[in-house]
Homo-oligomer: A and B are copies of this chain.
Amino acid sequence: MDFLEQIRNLKDQFRTGSKFTLPDEFKNVVISGMGGSGIAGRIFQELYHGKPTVVNEGYEIPEWVDASTLFIAISYSGNTEETISATTMAHSAGANIVKISSGGKLSKLPGLQVTVPGGVQPRSALGYLLSPLLNSFGMLSPVRDRVYRLIGSIDEDSSFLKSIASEIASNQLIPLILALPGFTSTGIRWKTQFNENAKLMAFSLNFPELDHNDIMAFEKSYMRERFFPIVIGDTTNEQINKRVRITSKLTGLRFSAVRPRGESLLEKVLYTIHCGDYLSYYTSLLRKLDPEDVGIIEKLKSELAT
A interface residues (Cβ-Cβ under 8 A, vs B): 27-28, 34-36, 38, 49-52, 54, 57-60, 62-64, 81-82, 172-174, 181, 191-192, 194-196, 199-203, 206, 208-209, 211-224, 226-227, 237, 239-240, 242-243, 246-247, 250-251, 289, 294, 296-297, 299-300, 303-304
Check if B81 sits within 8 Å of A62, measured CB to CB.
Answer: no
Copies, count: 2
Q: 9 tightest CB-CB pairs across the interface, nearest first? A: A35-B212, A49-B63, A192-B213, A199-B220, A201-B221, A195-B213, A172-B222, A52-B52, A28-B52
Q: Which residues of B contact A173 (CB under 8 A)?
A: 222
Q: Which residues of B contact A250 (CB under 8 A)?
A: 296, 299-300, 303
Q: Which residues of B contact A192 (CB under 8 A)?
A: 212-213
Of B49, B212, B237, B296, the contact of A36 (CB 8 Å cutoff): B212
Q: Which residues of B contact A303 (CB under 8 A)?
A: 242, 246, 250
Check if A62 sits within 8 Å of B82, measured CB to CB.
Answer: no
CA distance A226 to B224 in the complex (A): 12
Q: Which residues of B contact A57 (CB under 8 A)?
A: 206, 208-209
Of B38, B62, B203, B217, the contact of A199 (CB 8 Å cutoff): B217
Check if A243 sits within 8 Å of B52, measured CB to CB.
Answer: no
Check if A215 sits within 8 Å of B28, measured CB to CB.
Answer: no
CA distance A224 to B64 in the complex (A): 40
CA distance A172 to B220 in the complex (A): 12
Check if A296 sits within 8 Å of B195, measured CB to CB.
Answer: no
CA distance A104 to B52 in the complex (A): 30
A216 CB to nearest chain B CB (Å): 5
Check if B64 sits within 8 Å of A208, measured CB to CB.
Answer: no
* Shortest Cβ distance from A169 into B: residue: B222
CA distance A145 to B66 in the complex (A): 34
CA distance A227 to B221 in the complex (A): 13
Q: Which residues of B contact A199 (CB under 8 A)?
A: 216-217, 219-221
CA distance A208 to B86 in the complex (A): 13
Check if A217 sits within 8 Å of B202, measured CB to CB.
Answer: yes
Q: Which residues of B contact A223 (CB under 8 A)?
A: 172, 174, 201, 223, 226
CA distance A289 to B220 in the complex (A): 10
Check if A62 sits within 8 Å of B58, measured CB to CB.
Answer: no
Check if B300 sits within 8 Å of A211, measured CB to CB.
Answer: yes
